[in-house]
Amino acid sequence: AQKITQTQPGMFVQEKEAVTLDCTYDTSDQSYGLFWYKQPSSGEMIFLIYQGSYDEQNATEGRYSLNFQKARKSANLVISASQLGDSAMYFCAMSPLDFGNEKLTFGTGTRLTIIP
């Protein structure tokens, strides 16, 4: 079984500052994928970034980067130079790679609010 823990229910960050959203995971699978999704108030789920468990380099996608520390089982999302439009719920998720990505296990999310 897989488990995702997000310990920050809510965060307030000043605009243009960097923000780190915490995510720890637990799994007995040897290979797995880690994901971050953004859910704005409109409700849709938006894919942000992906990290494979065998990837040695941290994933980056524009202002998003995933700080992957395999030994600590953590996969924190870093948003550089935050913007007002970054205000949303953020979910960390994982999937066993053997099953593809159709079996995502999600954390409970972190609500990020960017303050002007």
Partner 1 sequence: NAGVTQTPKFQVLKTGQSMTLQCAQDMNHEYMSWYRQDPGMGLRLIHYSVGAGITDQGEVPNGYNVSRSTTEDFPLRLLSAAPSQTSVYFCASSRGASGTQYFGPGTRLLVL
| Strand, coil or helix: 68 | strand
Binding segment toward partner 1, per CB under 8 A, in 16-24, 67-75, 80-88, 104-112: 104-112
- 34 in contact with partner 1 (CB under 8 A): no
Among 3, 30, 103, 115, binds partner 1 (CB under 8 A): 103
16: left (phi over 0), alpha (psi -120 to 50) or beta: left
Among 24, 55, 78, 106, binds partner 1 (CB under 8 A): 106
DSSP characters for 25-52?
Answer: EE---SSEEEEEEEE-TT---EEEEEEE
In the complex with partner 1, the residue whose CB is nearer, 87 or 105, is 105
Task: Give the span between the Cα atoms of 1 and 22, in whole angstroms.
Answer: 20
Per CB under 8 A, residues contacting partner 1 are 4, 35, 37, 43-47, 50, 91, 93, 97-109
